[in-house]
Chain A
């Protein structure tokens, strides 16, 4: 039996991937989440948008080396098989991608979103927010 001493963390983090046809803009993000800009709850999603932009690496998939794994494009090992498949498909179409991680210890908004998991898509944006780690 191993005994751990000291504090035990209960924090979590979620890796996300966003694929878009153009640079990600706040208005398009709000539309994907299903809220109008004048909604009284839009500020919740504006904060999520800001956190996503600040926490992500941006890659223009037109310029990636398609002979290596998408994990090399972002220098990470946290891409799920579904994310890798979407990135490989998107690279062939010359789209843009944002990859990053939000964690539950930063803001209340991030804490909330780290307790959720979802995959959303419309004609312009694909948002994978399924990779949670506790």
Chain B
């Protein structure tokens, strides 16, 4: 599940990517490159490789961050999201609902300018979503 939203301050597009199936960071990288159908070593390959690192290596995993470091400080995951991350209430509610089903919740602030609006969401969905449209496993 990918939850898109715009920041209240500058209206920038941000995403929270919730993964449900257990999968390693290396497997995610392989899956993204495979789905993108890019030739190894090419410009497009580097683009997707960097995108993978931006999301799954350099972005904050909210679930892990809360469980490992902040579960004592904040009485609930919702409190952590609202007070520490200052996420919109609607997003907090959706993430709290998805908490138990997710193995990771990556807070991605895009480094690529084209990842905006509907186009950005569709682009990420095709590459990152656990079970994208048209794929059975």
Contact = CB atoms under 8 A, between A and B. Distances in A.
Interface of A: 33-36, 38-41, 44-45, 108-109, 111-112, 115, 118, 120
A34 B36 CA distance: 10
B113 A115 contact: yes
B43 interface: yes
A35 B127 contact: no
Nearest to B125: A40
A73 B133 CA distance: 49
A89 B45 CA distance: 30
B112 interface: yes
A36 to B, nearest CB: 4
A38 B38 CA distance: 10
A106 to B, nearest CB: 12
A34 B38 contact: yes
Interface in B99-137: 112-114, 116, 119, 123, 126-127
Interface residues of B, number: 20
Given A34-B44, A41-B44, A41-B126, A108 B116 contact: yes
Given A40-B35, A41-B36, A109 B114 contact: yes
A33 B126 contact: no
A116 to B, nearest CB: 9
A111 B44 contact: no
B135 to A, nearest CB: 11
10 contacts: A33-B43, A34-B41, A36-B37, A39-B37, A39-B44, A41-B123, A41-B126, A108-B119, A112-B113, A115-B113
Contacts, number: 54
A93 B125 CA distance: 45
A34 B45 contact: yes
A111 B113 contact: yes
Q: Which among A38, A41, A115 has the greatest number of chain B C-beta atoms within 10 A?
A: A41
A45 to B, nearest CB: 7
Contacts of A36: 37-38
Contacts of B45: 34
Contact of A112 (B43, B48, B112): B112
Interface in B36-72: 36-39, 41-45, 47-48
B95 to A, nearest CB: 26
A108 B113 contact: yes
A44 B42 CA distance: 15
A39 B123 CA distance: 11
